[in-house]
Amino acid sequence: MSKLLEQINNTSDLKKLSIPQLRTLADQIRQFILNSISKTGGHLASNLGIVELTLALHYVFDFKEDKLLWDVGHQCYTHKIITGRKEQFHRLRQPGGISGFPNPAESVYDQFTVGHAGTSIATAIGMALGSMLDARYSITDENREDKIVAVIGDASIVNGVSFEALNNLGLVKRQLLIVLNDNSMAIDVTVGAMAKYLSKVRLSQTYEDLRKTTKNILEHMPGIGKTVEEAIERIKKSIRMVLPASQMFESLNIPYFGPVDGHDVDSLIRLFRAMAELNHPAVLHVYTEKGKGFKPADTQPSKFHSTGPFKINGDAIEPITDVKRPSFTSVFGRFLTELAEKDHRIVTITSAMCDGTGLLEFRKKFKDRFYDVGIAEGAAVDIAAGLAKTGLKPVVCIYSTFLQRSFDQIFQEVALQNLPVVFCIDRAGFVGSDGPTHHGLMDIGFLRMLPNLVLTAPANEIEMKLALEFALAEDKPIVIRYPKDLVPQSQFSRAACARPFKLGKSVVVKKTKDSAIAVVSYGSVLTEALRAANLLAKEGIAVDVINARFAAPVDEAIIALSETGKSIITVEDHHLACGFGSAVLEMVAAKTTNNKSANIRTLGVPSRFIGHNYRSFQLMEAGINAEKIVETAKEMAHSMLDVLRPSSGRAQYS
Ligand SMILES: Cc1ncc(C[n+]2csc(CCOP(=O)(O)OP(=O)(O)O)c2C)c(N)n1
């Protein structure tokens, strides 16, 4: 670790540094982040770009008392390093290590556990309103003089939630600083009218302009006797130009300052000091460079938005990969592109996640049939509904966790109209090192309650293709969910999985003579069900394995099993509440005439949030693996034995 950084353990150490020392520290932190992320993986490019901005904020404010709200939160690494977590940084996103996102359980410097975009301004408003009421009614012992700062990226500020918040900023009658960290990038380049507007402003600004703007803001800062309106007018006049970026905020009556250089730590400190004294909300627009200081991330910020471990070789990198199988994401992207070659009605919509959802190839081949709508999941679904209405076949590609944002649109504009929109839900299930903000453990729950929606989940590569073919041929809304994982090895690609998908029909993957238990899996966990069946067979316990394929509608044949006295174990990579197993239980309760004898155990995620870890460990922690299936099957077998023992020796299990 570099010398200066070694001495910085908390923000008090930081505040003792001179400006030149802060500059040196910024470079050392960048190097530290780079070395560390090359080993652990993580969000690199955004973090390299926000070092000076973070140092300046902590230099001026005291975020033990003051409140700092990060938007998305993936850019909080410098913040973590200087707020007492430097020594734990090598365990970032690792089992038992610190999280890659803000987490109040880790530090008083973190306000919310966040990972979804667009939340910082609204939560900051809430905290500001709270402190205003507190000041009036003395509700708590909190420091009522505390400052509030929200840091938000240029891609996240155009999110609907951000706009709704800006629309309500007028409620706040006290200091609240919004720092717009503009690096012209979401994960990919930002899209949409607002992004164009901001990038036009950016292109028109020279470094000299940014310097001048800083100087003018500082000279004309509203102070005693000067209103903010007067000050802004003076700033504009003195730089003899109209700043278009300001127009948008000012039209909403939000005082806007900027744009300024986000790597000039000296100026930032002076600006933050001045703006901390404002007694009303304001926006400071700051330009930063995503990936700053590391050429590969600087030139390919999208690739280094979030990265796995890599080897640094001077100014270049060598990826570390020993991956032999493709991911569900990549096979999805490949099959969809193949199908789109033959069917021109197929169009795709994603919300700022082109690469993550496997659509790079599709975008390249079918530029005019691909829509990236930015961080706007609700609008993405409604645009898809509109496209479907015109006879096209829209495929909406959104991560499970972010699709939560579009529940109402799926309900009204898709399900209620029964429109043939295909939802391809990536990252469904545990996601590993991103942790609880990103797990996709609720989609079955919030989607299966919607009439008309068909829910399906491919277990492997073959089924991915079949599920897509099925979905695109149906004339109704279909959901296909799959995990952040590699496709299973081909030994599990059984012939049963090669049968075309039929609405609401499961497939029997393994049938064993004399079996009294059926393991019914939904999606990729079929692998675990088959592994369990093999382990159980070695112990003389016969089980059938059924690949459910559908969570809505559930195959009646699965329900019929319980009527014949067979015990059922359901397995899914989803919360138990409202999941696939719950659907089976509900159907059995509703349909079985003799349901006293139904013996069903459901395996899935219990009702608690599970932290970042390797995906396989998360599955193990939740008991979604072959070992838990074996344990459950044995318990069931033994309880069956107990029932059978007094009357006969007919027991099948030892
Ligand atoms: C609701 C939601 N949709 C999608 C994402 C995925 N995502 C993570 S970071 C990111 C880009 C954020 O860009 P910006 O706000 O400009 O911050 P930067 O990374 O440039 O610092 C996206 C789309 C998300 N976190 N939340």
Q: Report the pLDDT value the prediction gives residue 139, as an integer from 0 to 100.
A: 86
Q: Report the pLDDT value the prediction gives residue 197, as an integer from 0 to 100.
A: 83
Which atom of ligand 1 lies closest to the CA of 356? 6
Which amino acid residue places its CA nearest to atom 12 of ligand 1?
A: 186
Query: Per mean pLDDT, which range of 68-72, 126-130, 290-294, 342-346 is the poorest?
Result: 290-294
Does residue 515 surpass a pLDDT of 70?
Answer: yes
Which tens digit of pLDDT belongs to each residue from 342-369?
A: 999 999 999 999 999 999 999 999 999 9
pLDDT category of residue 495 using cuts at 50, 70 and 90? confident
Straight-line distance from the first to the last Cα atom of the chain, in angstroms, rounded to the nearest whole number: 60
Which atom of ligand 1 lies closest to the CA of 116? 26
Q: Report the pLDDT value the prediction gives residue 459, as an integer from 0 to 100.
A: 97
Which tens digit of pLDDT belongs to each residue from 90-114?
A: 999 999 999 999 999 999 999 999 9
481, two tokens = 């969910």
Which atom of ligand 1 lies closest to the CA of 159? 1
Which tens digit of pLDDT belongs to each residue from 267-326?
A: 999 999 999 999 999 999 999 999 998 888 888 878 888 899 998 887 777 777 777 799
- The Å distance, Cα 117 to ligand 1 centre, comes to 6
Q: Report the pLDDT value the prediction gives residue 496, as an integer from 0 to 100.
A: 79
- Is the four-CA dihedral 33, 38, 39, 40 of positive or negative sign? positive
Which atom of ligand 1 lies closest to the CA of 118? 1
- The Å distance, Cα 19 to ligand 1 centre, comes to 31
Mean of all residue pLDDT scores within the chain: 92
- Is the four-CA dihedral 91, 93, 97, 102 of positive or negative sign? positive
What's this model's pTM, rounded to 2 decimal places? 0.94
Cα–Cα nearest to 574, from 615, 603, 545: 603
Which atom of ligand 1 lies closest to the CA of 375? 3
Residue bearing tokens 């008090």 = 12
Query: Per mean pLDDT, which range of 207-221, 487-501, 624-638 is the poorest?
Result: 487-501
Which tens digit of pLDDT belongs to each residue from 591-645?
A: 866 556 689 999 999 999 999 999 999 999 999 999 999 999 999 998 887 665 5
- The Å distance, Cα 124 to ligand 1 centre, comes to 18
Which tens digit of pLDDT belongs to each residue from 408-463?
A: 999 999 999 999 999 999 999 999 999 999 999 999 999 999 999 999 999 999 99
> What dihedral do alpha carbons 228, 233, 234, 238 form, nearest 10°?
140
In this prediction, residues 374-401 reach a mean pLDDT of 98
Q: Which DSSP string corresponds to 462-517?
A: HHHHHHHHHHHHSSS-EEEE--SSBPPPGGG--GGGGSPP-TT--EEEE--TT--E
- The Å distance, Cα 626 to ligand 1 centre, comes to 35
Tell me which residues are annotated as active site: 290, 377, 405
- Calpha distance 549→115 (Å, rounded): 30
Peptide bond into 20 cis (omega under 30): no
225: CB partners within 8 A, 6+ apart: none
In this prediction, residues 130-148 reach a mean pLDDT of 87
Cα–Cα nearest to 308, from 505, 39, 520, 75: 39
Most distant pair of Cα atoms in the chain: their distance: 98
Q: Which of 77, 114, 156, 181 to mutate to test the pocket of ligand 1 (most atoms within 8 A of CB)?
A: 156
- Calpha distance 535→437 (Å, rounded): 34
Q: Report the pLDDT value the prediction gives residue 625, as an integer from 0 to 100.
A: 97
- The Å distance, Cα 403 to ligand 1 centre, comes to 14
565, two tokens = 């006295």
Q: Report the pLDDT value the prediction gives residue 370, as an integer from 0 to 100.
A: 98
Q: Report the pLDDT value the prediction gives residue 652, as an integer from 0 to 100.
A: 40
- The Å distance, Cα 153 to ligand 1 centre, comes to 8
Report the amino acid identity of residue 35: N
Which amino acid residue places its CA nearest to atom 21 of ligand 1?
A: 46
Decide if 178 contacts 281 (C-beta within 8 A).
yes
Q: Express the helix, strand and coil content of the chain in percent, nearest 5 each.
A: 45, 15, 40
In this prediction, residues 124-142 reach a mean pLDDT of 91
Which tens digit of pLDDT belongs to each residue from 6-48?
A: 999 999 999 999 999 999 999 999 999 999 999 999 999 999 9
Which tens digit of pLDDT belongs to each residue from 370-380?
A: 999 999 999 99
Residues flanking ligand 1, CB < 6 Å: 46, 72, 74-75, 115-117, 153-156, 181, 183, 185-187, 290, 351-353, 375, 377, 402, 405
- What Rg do the C-alpha atoms of the chain give, in angstroms? 28
Q: What are the chain's domains?
A: 3-299 (3.40.50.970), 328-481 (3.40.50.970), 504-638 (3.40.50.920)
Q: Report the pLDDT value the prediction gives residue 653, as an integer from 0 to 100.
A: 35
Which tens digit of pLDDT belongs to each residue from 233-248?
A: 777 776 655 466 678 8
